[in-house]
């Protein structure tokens, strides 16, 4: 099984931090130079592939190996080559009429920022040029070039402290390491692909089932056959995603004629994506660990219920899909679940989030904000109810009595339990229970139309 350890790293001193920044910046500069040489040849020859590989990367390698070390210089160039090969492959598929998987004309590999506005600090380290030591005080050690070593009177092996525990500390083989500076939260991060043996996979503790309802306001509402209910609140994330999107649009409207983007715009896109990916990955991990401990062996995913409501415009839906990246999320979830031996089933068949669990009516219910109400007297949290109905549809076992739902909020690092957990389904007279009321009005459905 191939898996990836991702973790934050911290330099051990100011000098260490300067050295690391120099290393990442020089890697980005090398990437840009190689990419520029290739792009020039590509444009000169009307997109003929052959010339791209004529760029004199040997000279550039010689120029940068003093700072980066020969192996990292080569690795950066190789990674750029892979990006170009990937691009040509996509282009071929795009021009192949029998292949419908690529619908947009692909773009050649981009640049990692520029010197003036700042480069995107990022490098890639060959698998034999770094070591990771897992333990109480986990350490990452990477080789640096002789020029950097002299500049900082350094040993030539940069030691970095690793924060947090890896998901996969026991592996057979390590791949090349990606190392970058995350502007979103001013943290250096690394991702380490590893190969682990298949028997490292966990076995489910029981054969329980969970059903997830995926949306934009509540990212995930979940009900399990053991009677647990979880709700991951996505409002803040979604709001920030929309804010960034608006800022991108504002900057785009100020671009001069003939200019399509700027480094600032690209940086905002990166920031937006990274923030979402980080929250999504953490959500998958948090949820799957809970489900594993609750004894799940199967998880059903459905949705996006609050997104596909009819009053949402096509445009809004597109933007929401962009935010949630449903396919990416399910893949991520399936991948995380696989580690625990839990299988994931995606069910996209039309099923309604508007069904009343009490009387079965679908056309008499009303959804206002997060609350689903029915003339029969039912009132409950719409997304949690939807996940409950969804679960009942996919399991023959009796669902155990429900505990009080637990709500989680994202604070940029972890999902933690919120004191404002929604109440259980309740008859109408209990409607004044303050815990069923969301923070004031800013989540009104009218607001969601303004996405
Ligand atoms: Zn009803």
Q: How far, in Å, from the CA of 432 to the mean position of ligand 1? A: 20
Q: How far, in Å, from the CA of 379 to the mean position of ligand 1? A: 8
Q: How far, in Å, from the CA of 425 to the mean position of ligand 1? A: 12
Half-sphere exposure of residue 114, counting CA atoms within 13 Å on the CB side? 8
Q: How far, in Å, from the CA of 363 to the mean position of ligand 1? A: 10
Q: How far is 201 from 206, CA to CA, in rounded Å?
A: 15
Phi, psi torsion values for 218, nearest 5 degrees = -105, 110
Q: How far is 124 from 73, CA to CA, in rounded Å?
A: 9
Q: How far, in Å, from the CA of 433 to the mean position of ligand 1? A: 20
Cis status of the peptide bond prior to 304, with omega within 30 of 0: yes
Tokens 């989540």 appear where? Answer: 443
Q: How far, in Å, from the CA of 368 to the mean position of ligand 1? A: 15
Q: How many C-beta atoms surround the C-beta of residue 274 within 10 A?
A: 16
Q: How far, in Å, from the CA of 360 to the mean position of ligand 1? A: 6
What does the angle CA 167 – CA 170 – CA 122 come to, to the nearest 5 degrees? 60
Per-residue pLDDT of the chain (451 residues; tens, 9 = 90+): 788 888 999 999 998 999 999 999 999 999 999 999 999 999 887 767 778 888 899 999 999 999 999 999 999 999 999 999 999 988 888 888 877 766 777 889 999 988 888 889 999 999 999 999 988 889 999 989 999 888 887 788 899 999 877 778 888 899 999 999 988 778 999 999 998 877 767 788 888 999 998 877 788 999 999 999 999 998 888 888 888 888 988 998 888 877 777 888 888 888 888 888 889 889 999 999 999 999 999 999 886 544 444 434 445 555 555 666 677 788 888 888 988 889 988 876 445 567 888 888 888 888 888 888 999 999 999 889 888 888 888 887 777 777 889 999 998 888 988 877 666 554 433 333 333 333 333 333 333 333 3
Assigned token pair, 42: 């590509």
Q: How far, in Å, from the CA of 389 to the mean position of ligand 1? A: 13
Q: How far, in Å, from the CA of 374 to the mean position of ligand 1? A: 5
Q: How far, in Å, from the CA of 427 to the mean position of ligand 1? A: 11
Assigned token pair, 298: 């199967």
Q: How far, in Å, from the CA of 387 to the mean position of ligand 1? A: 16
Q: How far is 269 from 289, CA to CA, in rounded Å?
A: 30
Q: How far, in Å, from the CA of 375 to the mean position of ligand 1? A: 6
Residue 47 zone, left/alpha/beta (φ > 0; ψ -120 to 50; rest): left
Q: How far, in Å, from the CA of 450 to the mean position of ligand 1? A: 30
Q: What is the pTM for the complete model shown?
A: 0.63
Q: How far, in Å, from the CA of 350 to the mean position of ligand 1? A: 20
Q: How far is 325 from 267, CA to CA, in rounded Å?
A: 19
Assigned token pair, 32: 């840009």
Residues with a beta carbon under 5 angstroms from ion ligand 1: 356, 358-359, 361, 374, 376, 378
């Amino acid at each position: 099984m191939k898996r990836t350890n991702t973790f934050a790293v911290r330099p051990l001193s100011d000098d260490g931090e300067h050295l690391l920044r120099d290393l990442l910046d020089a890697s980005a500069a090398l990437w840009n130079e190689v990419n520029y040489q290739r792009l020039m040849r590509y444009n000169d020859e009307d997109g003929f592939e052959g010339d791209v590989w004529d760029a004199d990367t040997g000279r550039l390698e010689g120029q940068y190996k003093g700072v980066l070390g020969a192996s990292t210089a080569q690795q950066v160039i190789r990674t750029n080559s892979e990006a170009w090969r990937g691009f040509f492959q996509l282009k071929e598929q795009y021009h192949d009429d029998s292949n419908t998987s690529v619908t947009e004309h692909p773009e050649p590999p981009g640049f990692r920022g520029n010197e003036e506005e700042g480069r995107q600090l990022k490098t890639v380290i060959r698998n034999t040029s770094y070591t990771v030591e897992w333990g109480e005080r986990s350490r990452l050690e990477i080789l640096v070039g002789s020029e950097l070593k002299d500049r900082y009177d350094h040993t030539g092996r940069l030691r970095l402290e690793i924060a947090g525990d890896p998901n996969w500390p026991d592996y057979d083989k390590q791949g090349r390491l990606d190392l970058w500076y995350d502007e979103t939260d001013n943290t250096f991060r690394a991702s380490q692909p590893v190969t682990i043996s298949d028997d490292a996979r966990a076995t489910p503790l029981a054969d329980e089932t969970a059903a997830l309802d995926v949306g934009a306001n509540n990212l995930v509402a979940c009900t399990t056959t053991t009677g647990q209910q979880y709700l991951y609140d996505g409002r803040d994330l979604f709001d920030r995603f929309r804010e960034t999107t608006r800022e991108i649009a504002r900057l785009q409207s100020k671009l001069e004629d003939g200019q399509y983007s700027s480094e600032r715009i690209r940086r905002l896109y990166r920031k937006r994506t990274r923030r979402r990916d980080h929250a999504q990955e953490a959500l998958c991990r948090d949820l799957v660990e809970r489900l594993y401990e609750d004894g799940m062996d199967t998880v059903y995913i459905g949705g996006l219920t609050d997104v596909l409501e009819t009053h949402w415009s096509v445009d809004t839906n597109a933007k929401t899909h962009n935010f949630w990246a449903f396919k990416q999320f399910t893949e991520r979830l399936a991948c995380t679940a696989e580690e625990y031996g839990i299988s994931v089933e995606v069910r996209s068949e039309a099923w309604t989030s508007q069904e009343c669990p009490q009387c079965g009516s679908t056309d008499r219910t009303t959804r206002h904000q997060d609350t689903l109400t029915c003339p029969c007297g039912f009132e409950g949290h719409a997304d949690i109810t939807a996940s409950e109905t969804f679960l009942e549809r996919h399991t023959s076992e009796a669902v155990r009595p429900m505990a009080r739902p637990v709500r989680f909020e994202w604070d940029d690092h972890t999902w933690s339990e919120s004191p404002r957990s929604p109440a259980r389904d309740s008859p109408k007279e209990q409607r004044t229970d303050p815990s069923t009321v969301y923070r004031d009005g800013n989540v009104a459905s009218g607001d969601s139309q303004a996405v």
